[in-house]
Structure 1
Amino acid sequence: MRHLLLFLKGKILINSRLVNGLEIGIIKEPKESLMMKLVKQIYSVALVSLLFVSCEKESITDNVIVSASPSSSLELRIPANFNFTTSKDLNFTFNLNQAPLSGKYLVEVYGAIPSAGQGSLYKSFLSSNANLNFTAAVPAGVNQVYILLWAPDGSSFLTVLPISGTSLSHTFYKGKNQSGKMEIASPDCNSGCNVTRTHSGWWTADEDSESRSETTYCFTGSYNGSGGITVTDKSIVRLCGSGSIPNVTINKGVLEITGDANVTINNLNLNSEKDNEIIVYPGGSLTITNTFSPNGDITNYRTISLSALNLNSNAKLKNYGTFNVVTNNSTSLNGDVNNYGSMTFSGNLTINGDSDFDNYCTLICEGDLNVNGNIDNDQGYIRVDDRLLINGGGKIILDDGAQLSTKDIWINGKIEGKGSTSIIKVSGRSDANWGSEIKKNLEYCDADGIENFPSNIFKDGAKAACDVTIQTSACNPEGNGIATIADADNDGVADELDAYPNDASRAANSFFPGENAYGTLAYEDLWPAFGDYDFNDLVVDYRYQNVLNADNEVVDLVGRFVTRSLGGDYANGFGIQLDLPSTAIGAVSGAVITENIVNISANGTEQGQTNATIIVYDNAKSILLNTTGASFVNTVSANPKIDNDTLDLNISFNTPQIIASIGQAPFNPFIFINGTRGREVHLAGYAPTDLADLALFGTIDDNTNSNSENTYKSSNNLPWAINIVGGFSYPEERVDIASAYSFFGSWAQSGGSANQNWYIDLPGNINASDLYQ
């Protein structure tokens, strides 16, 4: 059998041949770049008007010169086991040990800090003293995940877990009153150290023969209570042992107390006005016995104990753990404080005019609290055991159900409530001067009546009352009133956390790749022949929504698909296959079937399939209507743009399904080419459906072995489809993806280990002129 490469009326018939009775080919406009690619293939060894060649399977010649970063996909040499995945699967194990509230907690997994706005990429419920195990995909370039734990009362706790390997585990609460709002992993002295040594005598960073700026010095073993350490010149001193060190001085350096360290320092000085930093990591403990007057940044994730504190105006203190001033010495704060954990001051505490104190959890003053600056009590709890004095320049803000409890109060400044109603509780005497204010969303509750307030002190809705219910929590052990956690549908999930509070069969929406994010599927449609590798023949963005019940089972699956481009002449269909049998599907709605190509069962799945196969649409040209008269849709920037089409596909199940039985989004997405149902194109390494024409495997440029997982790849392991777990700008028509993205080639040839963020708009990644605009 023979085939031809023909010139027809100024166009090129590419790779036209009969394979098992099927003609494989497409007509496109001629162009030099495509001709050059054809020249590189063996079926264009010599170019004449009529060229007869053998019909045997072509292969890429071995003498192609491969550059360090090839601009042509056909030049790439890709590891056989690489399937062009841009994500990685992680196995999570969570435990909730002796949680302070009954009911189900909600766990959310984020690939970026939640405030970035991408939304979580996985949600699941967790009960106290129970385990939660699941697998979730995150972008391959992510090196840590953010875990947000929501309690039934609506309070939350953020944990940051570094990714090392494929499994992550974490226990919340661990039987303690976990009041802090964040956890991170501690470094150690087994890695990341430029110099490792034990401590004895006096030591200064620049005295070490190996010292240099920004060097990390790791100290192991025990500290014997003699000598001292001086940290200088942006160096890092990391303490991994325990014991006592008489003197530590930091001059533009960093002191790290690791999770293995329990350190007492008699005299700790942060001398420079800036560039000083102390970090106490989870599990670590730092005790300072002198009056601590720091300059620079102090961050505590576990325990700091002080004899006395004078926080200078250029210092910043962030507490996520337990921070105690343990003697009756007075504390003076001139710098800014952010408290996400528990802070206790045994003596008097003064917050001066230069200081802003943001309290998100627990602040306890066992003496007097003098306020000359600003306190923002944001859903937190403040307790003053003696007298609270709010002076003329002082102001306290209580946000969203915050609580302030004190024995006595003297107001000469302002107190303001924001958001939902907060409360001030006074067990002793209430006094205030004229001109002082209590305003907005506040209740003032004095147990034995208000002694001495001006008549106009309450403004803008604030009032003397004790009615508001403030629930106890890990941060607020006192509360006000009898708190009830509402659960209207009695499914065990508090209304505060329930996305469907009046529907007992539904409780949460878990999105992938995120509630406000999309992934992208991009296809070449000449399979089993090579195309031009612009990956724009069909481009579909996707976002999946698992509707979960309280038992973490999937009740409904909703797919949102945004069709963006048609970079070829073919009318292609698009579908997905789940790991479930077809009989598990109750109903499908939202699919667009316009041609006589596929046969659909009463439940909306495709007939003749073992696993549930849903055809989203059978003709992309009926989805993205070409009204411009141009050859292609949204692949040539100079041509008019057609609005993207958004389609919502709704899949319900006969019975709720565990997530693992459905598969990992985006599941098994595929196209079928130009009305030929059996001519499927899947992601590399994915299985064909039961209706695929397996006779096409191993023909032309495809090198699929149907008896293995090495599917839909060429002999040099190129795919015909890619899945980008994140936003993706596809190339301009006939621009090779390896040219448009500078590091696509190095990523592919490394098997995905290098340049994992190749598709993200970072400096040097993208050649903007090669992308469709």
Structure 2
Amino acid sequence: MKTKFFTLIILLTLLQGCTNEFPKDKAESVAYITDDITTLVVPKGHDLRPITLQNTNINLSEESKADIVKIKIFKIENDTYKLLFDGAIDREKSISSLIKIPNHVGLLAVQADLARGTREWVLTPNELGSLVIEDEVLIDEEDSENKSATAAKTSAAFSKDNPPSWNCGDYAEFNGNDDGNFQITTNSTQSLTVTKNTSIYICSGSSWNPTLLTDWGSKLTIYVASGASLSLRGSLYSTTYNEGTFNGVNTIFTNKSEFNNWGTANIVGNLGVFSDEINIYGGTCNISGSLSIEGHFDNDGGTVNVGGSVTISDKLHNKEGSTLKVGGDFTVNSGEFKNECKTTISGNFVNSKKVEFKNASYTAITGSFTSNPSTDIKIEEGSIFKCASITSGGNIKGNHGYSIIETGSITFWSSSKQFKGELDICSNSYTDGMGDNKVINSCTTFISTSACSLGYNNAVDNDNDGAIAGVDVDDNNASVASYQYPQGQNTFFTSLYEDLYPCMGDYDLNDLVHNYTYQESISNGENASITEIKFNYKFPAIGAGFNNSLVLRVMDEDNNATLNLESSDRYASSKITRMHDSQNNTTLFIFNNIKTIYTENVSGIINTVEIEYSDIPVISGTVSNINGAYDEFILQDGKLGHEIHPLYNELHRNYSALNTPTMYNDANNFSRCDDKSLGDGNLFINANGFPWVLTDLPMDLPWPKEGVLILEAYPNFDDFVISNPALDWYSSINGNREESQIIK
């Protein structure tokens, strides 16, 4: 263990009874021995900041249902989430930035407002460098069983994305006989009676419009190639795989038939479904009349247009990637309807059994929605449901992310029924008694556009910055689209200053203790950068006889940066001096006379012997019209030209002006006393590479007592300097602090 010797000499001690300040002579107030500091050598490249600048690369998966996703990034400290970033990504825009990760932080959290609710990733800082935002797979047990049953029937032959494959020319030409595999390469009207297993392959450019087709035993399978056509009338018993065009007139799919579509199906008149295997895997199904379902009809990636009404007595499932458009009324009798994509209905909707609207779906009903049974209706997973009015005998429930219900009048047949869960009810008829404590009535929920949904609150861009209102953190400011909180929202970092530069001084690093937290406003677009900052400053200790000034320096090419002091009853904006550095395109905001927040005695010291001032004021403000970056330093005794800066900051590698002094600095200081600044960008350092400032200390840090070396207050600081830049030497664990030597 190293031994350090130091002696504190306080002058005018007898005046303590008359004043709260402990004056310290500017020329000789502390006798000090700095053997440990002078022998510690800072390794090249070590900036003494106990943080990591973590590269962030967050992208939206191509498979995401939402086109735009709100993103929040948090650091996790003692199980507490502290916000670092608030913004959005889309299919063209990722999050690519540097984030400050303190040495004591081992986990981060990323939250994404996806189409079906908020998903969270808890990850290490390194994993932030390559994160793909993907939808969470939500498993519906009933759907899973149905899919498994269907897969068992079809997986051996084809999948929804891959129709059965075959080659024209592999089969004999069709001649009207059954019992075999035949191809059609002409425009045929040949009749067929089927009594044995038979396959007909209609080649591209060919057609089959049989004068008569008899297949009572359902032994016929028809394959229609892209560019081919099949025309049938009335009741069908066969299995059809259609990649071309199917033409039907008043078609009925009987219970033994099967129809799989990837092409175009045109039904003139009505369509009746008694089969459990009607699958629109792609393409379009046009029905000029009405659709009646007493079997299973799955729209599984296609578009179904019904000119008339729809009546369901079994199952209609409008799955992900599908569109259903109905020109008349929609009635669910003894069956069920599920919408997982886009459904529009021009008439009224009446439910007498079971309906669900989920998977970030979009449902628009021109008329009313009436649900007769007392069973629950599900509108969930970020879905949008619109209708003229709602009448319901059961609860209407939301889950897995807020869904929107936009409607007129609302009636529940029983006072015990209501809206429940994550629903935003956009209706002038809504009253608090209609929903539980999770239901909101704001109409402000953002839902992104997607292949299925038109989205909600996603068409307005009030400030025309290219970021829509739903994800723009400030849609009334064209220069702001997202926020970064480099210290963590409502979290302070600390800078410790030694002010006897260019001489080392006592290196107790308490001459100015500065706590700070920033909110950075980031613009939108490819060249997104900081355009505005909000700051909160505290100065809990000032152990200096000098009346030092803090300088907030911002990049400002056009000399139009402005500072607005927003909150301080102890510090006036008149004490802030604005100066422009035309050589470096920066503007300086100089906070003079900081000590006056405590006392008018400019030579007094504050809170470095003991806490005399427990009420620490916060100085808050906003700086606008910034060109990308900012930093801080101090002026010794408020003298322009006597600057004291931190070490080179890699964060500002693209802003060289912030890693150099201002045009007003007295460069002669670089050759005086202990300053041994080098010409390689390492300025304001002594012979061993030590600076006069420790900055980006990632907490509201206790400071050394008057005359106490930083090594005495924080015994592990030397290990951090010499061998372990990842050490959290400042935290309250692992013997990091000598409690008797610090003020807190």
Give the alignment's TM-score, normalised by structure 2.
Answer: 0.52
Q: How does 1:476-491 map to 2 (within 5 A)?
A: 485=458, 487=460, 489=462, 491=465
2:418 and 2:663 mapped to 1: Cα distance?
69
Q: Which residue of 2 aligns with 1:719?
A: 691
Q: Which amino acid aligns with 1:730?
A: W
- Among 498, 505, 517, the alignment partner of 2:491 is 517
Q: How does 1:480-629 map to 2 (within 5 A)?
A: 485=458, 487=460, 489=462, 491-551=465-525, 552-578=528-554, 580-583=555-558, 585-590=560-565, 604-607=578-581, 609-622=583-596, 624-626=597-599
Q: Which residue of 2 aligns with 1:105?
A: 69
- Among 133, 139, 153, the alignment partner of 1:172 is 133
Q: Which residue of 1 aligns with 2:624?
A: 651
User: Per-residue CA shift, 1:488-527, capped at 9, x if unaligned?
Assistant: 5265434333322444553333222122212211100011
Q: Which residue of 1 aligns with 2:313?
A: none
CA contact (8 A) 2:117 2:400 kept: no
Aligned: 1:693 with 2:669: no
1:438 and 1:558 mapped to 2: Cα distance?
47
Q: Which residue of 2 aligns with 1:217?
A: none
- SS of 1:81 mapped into structure 2: coil
User: Per-residue CA shift, 1:322-375, capped at 9, x if unaligned?
Assistant: xxxxxxxxxxxxxxxxxxxx9xxxxxxxxxxxxxxxxxxx9xxxxxxxxxxxxx
Q: Which residue of 2 aligns with 1:766?
A: 737
Q: Which residue of 2 aligns with 1:128?
A: 91
User: Per-residue CA shift, 1:681-723, capped at 9, x if unaligned?
Assistant: 1112342222211111132222212x22222221222221011
- Structure 1 residues 442 and 593: alpha-carbon distance in aligned structure 2, compared to 1, 3 A threshold: closer
Deviation for aligned residue 1:164: 4.3
User: Per-residue CA shift, 1:111-139, capped at 9, x if unaligned?
Assistant: 3279723212x344422144443233322
Deviation for aligned residue 1:568: 0.8
CA contact (8 A) 1:100 1:473 kept: no
2:78 and 2:360 mapped to 1: Cα distance?
24
Deviation for aligned residue 1:82: 2.0
> How many residue pairs end up in the alignment?
468
User: Per-residue CA shift, 1:173-215, capped at 9, x if unaligned?
Assistant: 3xxx54479xxxxxxxxxxxxxxxxxxxxxxxxxxxxxxxxxx
- Structure 1 residues 390 and 750: alpha-carbon distance in aligned structure 2, compared to 1, 3 A threshold: farther
CA contact (8 A) 2:447 2:456 kept: no
2:444 and 2:581 mapped to 1: Cα distance?
57
Q: How does 1:47-446 map to 2 (within 5 A)?
A: 72-98=36-62, 100=64, 104-112=68-76, 116-120=80-84, 122-151=85-114, 155-164=117-126, 168-173=129-134, 178-179=136-137, 437-439=416-418, 441=420
Q: Which residue of 2 aligns with 1:226?
A: none
- Structure 1 residues 631 and 440: alpha-carbon distance in aligned structure 2, compared to 1, 3 A threshold: same
2:451 and 2:544 mapped to 1: Cα distance?
65
Deviation for aligned residue 1:538: 0.7
CA contact (8 A) 1:105 1:150 kept: yes
1:26 and 1:423 mapped to 2: Cα distance?
67
Q: Let me know the Cα RMSD of the aligned residues.
A: 5.4
CA contact (8 A) 1:672 1:681 kept: yes
Q: Which amino acid aligns with 1:639?
A: E
Q: Which residue of 2 aligns with 1:730?
A: 703
- Structure 1 residues 609 and 575: alpha-carbon distance in aligned structure 2, compared to 1, 3 A threshold: farther
- Structure 1 residues 105 and 492: alpha-carbon distance in aligned structure 2, compared to 1, 3 A threshold: farther
1:644 and 1:75 mapped to 2: Cα distance?
38
Deviation for aligned residue 1:765: 2.0
Q: Which residue of 2 aligns with 1:16?
A: none
User: Per-residue CA shift, 1:709-745, capped at 9, x if unaligned?
Assistant: 2222212222210111333121222222212223112
Aligned: 1:671 with 2:634: yes
Q: Which amino acid aligns with 2:742?
A: L
- Structure 1 residues 684 and 104: alpha-carbon distance in aligned structure 2, compared to 1, 3 A threshold: same
- Structure 1 residues 134 and 708: alpha-carbon distance in aligned structure 2, compared to 1, 3 A threshold: same
2:540 and 2:634 mapped to 1: Cα distance?
15
Flag structure 1 segments of 5+ consecutive residues without an equivalent.
1-6, 13-24, 41-71, 182-341, 343-361, 363-376, 383-388, 405-412, 425-431, 445-457
CA contact (8 A) 1:589 1:650 kept: yes
Deviation for aligned residue 1:421: 8.3
2:560 and 2:724 mapped to 1: Cα distance?
37
1:768 and 1:402 mapped to 2: Cα distance?
56
Deviation for aligned residue 1:641: 3.6
Q: Which residue of 1 aligns with 2:255?
A: none
- Structure 1 residues 646 and 76: alpha-carbon distance in aligned structure 2, compared to 1, 3 A threshold: same
CA contact (8 A) 1:92 1:134 kept: yes
- SS of 2:711 mapped into structure 1: helix
- Structure 1 residues 642 and 75: alpha-carbon distance in aligned structure 2, compared to 1, 3 A threshold: farther
CA contact (8 A) 1:417 1:439 kept: no
- Structure 1 residues 627 and 572: alpha-carbon distance in aligned structure 2, compared to 1, 3 A threshold: closer
User: Per-residue CA shift, 1:393-446, capped at 9, x if unaligned?
Assistant: xx9999997899xxxxxxxx999889998799xxxxxxx9x9x953464799xx
- SS of 1:651 mapped into structure 2: strand
- Structure 1 residues 582 and 170: alpha-carbon distance in aligned structure 2, compared to 1, 3 A threshold: same
Give the alignment's TM-score, normalised by structure 1.
Answer: 0.50
CA contact (8 A) 1:78 1:751 kept: no
- SS of 1:557 mapped into structure 2: strand
CA contact (8 A) 2:360 2:381 kept: no
- Structure 1 residues 612 and 154: alpha-carbon distance in aligned structure 2, compared to 1, 3 A threshold: farther
- Among 700, 720, 728, the alignment partner of 1:757 is 728
1:588 and 1:472 mapped to 2: Cα distance?
33
- SS of 2:704 mapped into structure 1: coil
1:459 and 1:557 mapped to 2: Cα distance?
39
2:581 and 2:493 mapped to 1: Cα distance?
28
- SS of 1:112 mapped into structure 2: strand
1:531 and 1:86 mapped to 2: Cα distance?
23
CA contact (8 A) 1:593 1:619 kept: no
- SS of 2:676 mapped into structure 1: coil
CA contact (8 A) 1:79 1:751 kept: no
Sequence identity (%): 19
User: Per-residue CA shift, 1:217-240, capped at 9, x if unaligned?
Assistant: xxxxxxxxxxxxxxxxxxxxxxxx
- Structure 1 residues 97 and 417: alpha-carbon distance in aligned structure 2, compared to 1, 3 A threshold: closer
CA contact (8 A) 1:401 1:422 kept: yes
Deviation for aligned residue 1:610: 1.9
- SS of 1:709 mapped into structure 2: coil
1:159 and 1:138 mapped to 2: Cα distance?
17
1:483 and 1:616 mapped to 2: Cα distance?
46
Tell which structure's C-alpha radius of gyration is larger.
2
2:476 and 2:539 mapped to 1: Cα distance?
34
Q: Which residue of 1 aligns with 2:301?
A: none
Deviation for aligned residue 1:89: 1.7
Deviation for aligned residue 1:537: 0.5
Q: Which amino acid aligns with 2:132?
A: T
Deviation for aligned residue 1:748: 1.3
1:111 and 1:470 mapped to 2: Cα distance?
28
User: Per-residue CA shift, 1:623-666, capped at 9, x if unaligned?
Assistant: x332699941122225344533414242324xxx4xxxx23xxx
Q: Which amino acid aligns with 1:697?
A: F
